[in-house]
Amino acid sequence: MKKILSFILGSIFALNLSISVANSAANEVRVAYFLEWPSPNLEDMMKKNYAKALGVPVKWTSFNTGVEMTEAMLAGDIDISYSQGLAPFINAVKANAPIKLIDVAMEYGMGNTTCVTSNASGITKANASELEGKKVAVPLGTMADYVFAKSMEIVGVDASKINVIDMVPEDGTAALISGDVSMACLFGGNSVQAATEVGSRLISEEEAEAAGILGIDITSVTNKFMNENPGMVRTFVEVTHEANARYNSGKSDLNSMAKASGMEMSKMKNTLDGFKFLNAEETKQSMENGNLSGFLDGMGTPTGNVDTSFLPL
Partner 1 sequence: MLTQFITILIIVSIIGCILYGRRLIKTEKVDAVFGNPERAKGGTHWVIVGASAILMLWLYYSWDIAKGFYPKSANELCQVAKINESLLGLKYQFPIEEREFKSTSIIKIENKNLKKIANEINKSPDLNDQQKTILVSYIDRTSKLIPFLTSEELIEIDTKIKIQEMTEQIKQLSINFQKKNYPFETDAQKNERQKLINEQGGWGIVTIDTGSGSIENTIEIPTAPQTIKGLKFHAAAKELSLINDKFFKLRNHNPLFKSSIKQLKDDIKAYRKSLNDSEELASDYAKNIVKIARRIEFASIYPPNALNEMQEAILEFDDLQNKEQGGLRLIDILLFPSGTIVASGATCSEQGSGRWLPKPSDTFNKFVLLSKPSVGYKNVPLLWIEMVDVSKMIGFFLPDWIADILPGEYPVHTKEGIVKDNFKSNVLKVVTGDFKLLKVPVPYGHIWDSFMRVFLGLMFGIIIGVPLGLFMGLNRFARGFFDPLIELYRPVPPLAWAPLIISVLGIDNSGKIFLLFMVSLSIMIISARAGASGTQLSKIHAAHSLGATKKQILRHVIFPNSLPEILTGIRVAVGMCWGTLVAAEFLAGTTGIGFVENVAKKYFQWEVIWITIIIMGLLGLLFDITLRKIIDKTIPWRGKG
Q: Would you tell me which residues interact with partner 1 (CB under 8 A)?
A: 1, 12, 15-20, 24-25, 52-53, 55-56, 67, 70, 74, 88, 91-92, 94-100, 135, 137, 140-141, 160, 163-167, 171, 174-175, 177-178, 180-181, 223, 227-228, 230-231, 234-235, 302, 304-305
Neighbours of 147 (CB within 10 A): 25
Nearer to partner 1, 18 or 249 (CB): 18
Shortest CB 174 distance to partner 1, Å = 5
Nearer to partner 1, 154 or 177 (CB): 177
Nearer to partner 1, 24 or 129 (CB): 24
Across-strand partners of 192?
none
Shortest CB 276 distance to partner 1, Å = 26
Shortest CB 303 distance to partner 1, Å = 8
Nearer to partner 1, 55 or 122 (CB): 55
DSSP string, 67-105: HHHHHHHHTTS-SEEEEEEHHHHHHHHHTT--EEEEEEE
Nearer to partner 1, 19 or 126 (CB): 19
Q: How far apart are CA 266 and CA 44, in angstroms?
A: 20
Shortest CB 167 distance to partner 1, Å = 5
Nearer to partner 1, 12 or 120 (CB): 12
Dihedral sign, Cα of residue 235, residue 237, residue 238, residue 239:
positive
End-to-end CA gap in the chain: 66
Across-strand partners of 217?
85, 106
Shortest CB 206 distance to partner 1, Å = 31
Closest CA to 237 of 62, 101, 109: 101
Nearer to partner 1, 96 or 266 (CB): 96
Shortest CB 90 distance to partner 1, Å = 10
Return the ∠ at Cα 140 (arms to 138 and 143), rounded to 5°. 85
Nearer to partner 1, 12 or 210 (CB): 12
Shortest CB 96 distance to partner 1, Å = 4
Q: How far apart are CA 94 and CA 229, in angstroms?
A: 25
Closest CA to 260 of 32, 29, 34, 53: 34
Burial group, residue 160, by CB count within 10 angstroms (0-12, 13-18, 19+) = exposed
Residues 274/112, Cβ–Cβ less than 8 Å: yes
